[in-house]
Amino acid sequence: MMAEEKVKKQMDFREVSTCEATIQMLQKAASEGFETAFQRAADMKACPIGADSACCKHCFMGPCRLNPKDPYAKVGVCGATIDTIAARNFARMVASGCAAHTDHGMSMLDLFREVVHGKISDYQIKDEEKLRNVAASIDIEVVGRETMEIAKDLYQELERTYTQVEGEIPFAKRVPAKTLETWRKLGIVPRGAMREIMEIMHRSHMGVDQDYENIVKQCSRTALADGWGGSMVATEISDILFGTPKPLVAGVNMGFLKEEAVNIIVHGHEPNLFESMIASANDPANIEKAKAIGAAGINLLGMCCSGAEVLGRHGVPHAGNFMSTEAVIATGAVDAMAVDVQCIMQALAKMSECYGTKFFTTNPRAKIHGAMHIEFHEHTPRACTDKVVEMAIERFQNRPGRVVIPQRRDMGIHGFSHEYVNYMLGGSFRGSYKPLNDNIINGRIRGVAGVVGCTNPRVRQDYVHVELVKELIRNNVLVVQTGCSQIALAKAGLCKPDAAVLAGDGLREVCETVGMPPVLSLGSCVDNTRILIACAEMVRVGGLGESIADLPVAGAAPEYMSEKAISIGQYFVASGVYTIFGVTFPTIEGTKFHNLLFNGLEELGCGKWDFAVEPHEMARKMIAHIDKKREALGIMGKKERKLFSMEDRRAMDAM
Ligand code: BF8
Ligand code: SF4
């Protein structure tokens, strides 16, 4: 590359990220001539037609492009309208997102089957109580039975989540009666994930379903097979096998890399790989090998979602969210990065080559050109993870360049599960969501918001997550988090109990009484199902309406980038939750398809989609929805108890 060109590509990384460590490493990489997704995003403007979902390439009479500015002016060669085209595109995003989560869930279930049948010795059932509770929740007899008997029945039942061709998926039994009634009326109770995904792929083929309303029904059915199906199986089985998270103090950020130790990062989504890597990193024989070549030890960190899981479950430090995965390599301190599936940028292979990091793929589903593939098998997991350790030690010995580690370490409390929220608020003898509901009814807590999802180089990294959450807690909205979003908030210090000072009076009082932060981190993206179960519990306990759609709750994915996020959004909406996305949204305002997602679904008893880019605008919309639900429940309270509104704040700021 010409020096002149290099200069042209230098950008102000403060404009694209608020993460200090990431900015520092982006600058380092750029000064060394290596580009990252931030530069590639700046160089490649998003296609405006694709961004609005106004193009179709479902057959070879096309691809066809409609005009997003005048969407009804043209139709595709086959006559497909903008509503058909956008709905079909949306359907395929849901299919892909649902497939990713359910395939992950199925891997966990495969592992569970082998454990239950005694065919695997490296993993065991760690949480018998959770096993019994999950089994009981879907009507499996538990009283007086052996754990392994129950486990076998649970496996058989949960397999239906995927393979069943007729009937309702097992976890439909956990859905509040009125919500389930709405689904039945609409014909959207999932049968089995494989069937729903197959049907949606069929229906979105050229010349099949060309009625956007009918397509959206199958979007809901498929997405629900993710939320109350595959993702829920992933969470519950992971808790059973690896332990249900309980709050613990843990740290995030790149400062947890250690120059003097062998640093290994696991990046991806499947906790079975990570669990085995923990065992390998803690094995005295491996530690000895590291010490023998002069390292202080083996230092293991997580990234993205499996990182978020082990952060909460075991307190393993987390190096950063999605948009920091390239930057962290630029430290030069990462001796090995092992990845499995989902959200792994292909660019990591190149970046690793630039910095001499050993980069490994481990899953047969996801090989990357330029990466070394060491396949992970759950029957012999250590064969893979010990090899990764060995290669990392080798790289430590021959570190090619200078190591620069940004000195940022942010401690917080992680590992809230829906079970723990129950226990924390209800006391150890009688766990219950009643205190949460009571505090919502009396107005100390205005409502609950789930803020989740990715980071995306098209918006300033972490900025929207952090500003949105600050505004929500300031307005007494309790925030629960998963995925890359919670890492953004952890870096901003909001996962600490002291962050309660940033909350409104009511929420602060509750946090201080219980000793909890105003932002609760729940785990990875599949752990969004913990939020679904918490919602179901809030309905069951009473006082906040009869269906999830009645609750004063809202969801947001302000910096999303993944198709999985679309599936998650759709299952929250179908479950009854108002859900707002940022960045961009794949519809054209004013079209019938857009109106169905943004208004029509709510009239059918579901939640609704919404969109905003700016965090304060997003917060305002979420709070307005929460207030609308409070009003409908008759718990808005007297005028003088009306909580701090955005208008009040603006007025105060202006003073
Ligand atoms: O499943 S939040 S960038 S890591 S897609 Fe990916 Fe998005 Fe992160 Fe996890 Ni979820
Ligand atoms: Fe064009 Fe219709 Fe083919 Fe799509 S399915 S590419 S709109 S002809």
Give the global pTM: 0.94
Residue 588 in this model has a pLDDT that exceeds 90? yes
**Burial (Cβ within 10 Å: 0-12, 13-18, ≥19) of residue 654:** exposed
558 lines ligand 2 (CB under 6 A): no
Give the integer Cα–Cα distance in Å for 420 and 436: 13
pLDDT for 641: 44
pLDDT for 655: 46
pLDDT for 561: 98
Atom 7 of ligand 2, residue of closest alpha carbon: 76
pLDDT for 419: 84
pLDDT for 189: 98
Residue 5 in this model has a pLDDT that exceeds 80? no
Using one digit for the tens of pLDDT, what is the confidence trace for 151-170? Answer: 999 999 999 999 999 999 99
pLDDT for 425: 72
Give the list of residues 6+ apart from residue 328 with CB closer than 8 angstroms, or none. 25, 254, 257, 265, 303, 319, 320, 334
**SS3 state at 450:** strand
**Helices 128-137 and 147-163, axial angle in degrees (round to 10):** 50
pLDDT for 1: 43
Give the list of residues 6+ apart from residue 634 with CB closer than 8 angstroms, or none. none
Give φ, ψ of 354 to 5 degrees: -60, -35
Beta pairing, strands 334-339 & 410-414: unpaired
High-pLDDT (> 70) share of the chain, %: 95
Using one digit for the tens of pLDDT, what is the confidence trace for 402-428? Answer: 999 999 999 999 999 888 877 777 665
Residues with CB under 6 A from ligand 1: 269, 304-305, 322, 342-343, 453-454, 483-484, 524-525, 562, 564
Atom 9 of ligand 1, residue of closest alpha carbon: 305
Tokens of 579: 């859900």
Residue 642 in this model has a pLDDT that exceeds 50? no
Atom of ligand 2 nearest to the CA of 206: 5
Distance between Cα 454 and ligand 1 center (Å): 5
pLDDT for 257: 98
pLDDT for 2: 46
Relative to the alpha carbon of 204, which ligand is closest? 2
Using one digit for the tens of pLDDT, what is the confidence trace for 261-309? Answer: 999 999 999 999 999 999 999 999 999 999 999 999 999 999 999 999 9
Atom 7 of ligand 1, residue of closest alpha carbon: 454
Which residue of 326, 342, 451 sits with most ligand 1 atoms within 8 Å of its CB, as the best mutation to test the pocket?
342
Using one digit for the tens of pLDDT, what is the confidence trace for 298-340? Answer: 999 999 999 999 999 999 999 999 999 999 999 999 999 999 9
Atom of ligand 1 nearest to the CA of 565: 5
Atom of ligand 1 nearest to the CA of 526: 1
The one-letter amino acid code at 471 reads: E
pLDDT for 420: 82
Distance between Cα 82 and ligand 2 center (Å): 11
**Would you give the DSSP letter of residue 47?**
P
Average pLDDT, the chain: 94
Q: How many CA atoms lie within 13 A of 557 on its CB side?
A: 28
Mean pLDDT of 572-586: 98
Beta pairing, strands 358-361 & 334-339: parallel
pLDDT for 435: 87
Mean pLDDT of 538-561: 96
Using one digit for the tens of pLDDT, what is the confidence trace for 36-60? Answer: 999 999 999 999 999 999 999 999 9
Tokens of 384: 């893979």
Residue 212 in this model has a pLDDT that exceeds 90? yes
Concatenating the DSSP letter of every residue in 157-216 gives HHHHHHH--SS--GGGGGS-HHHHHHHHHHT---S-HHHHHHHHHHHTSTTS---HHHHH
Query: Beta-carbon neighbour count of residue 342 at 10 Å?
Result: 22
pLDDT band with cut points at 50, 70 and 90 for residue 9: low
Relative to the alpha carbon of 564, which ligand is closest? 1
Tokens of 279: 């065992």
Residue 438 in this model has a pLDDT that exceeds 80? yes
Mean pLDDT of 592-618: 97
Q: Are 630 and 636 in contact (CB under 8 A)?
A: yes
Atom 4 of ligand 1, residue of closest alpha carbon: 304
Q: Rg of the chain's alpha carbons, rounded to an integer?
A: 24
- Cα–Cα distances (Å) from 259 to 324, 328, 345, 410, 478, in that order, read 18, 13, 25, 18, 38
Beta pairing, strands 519-521 & 477-481: parallel
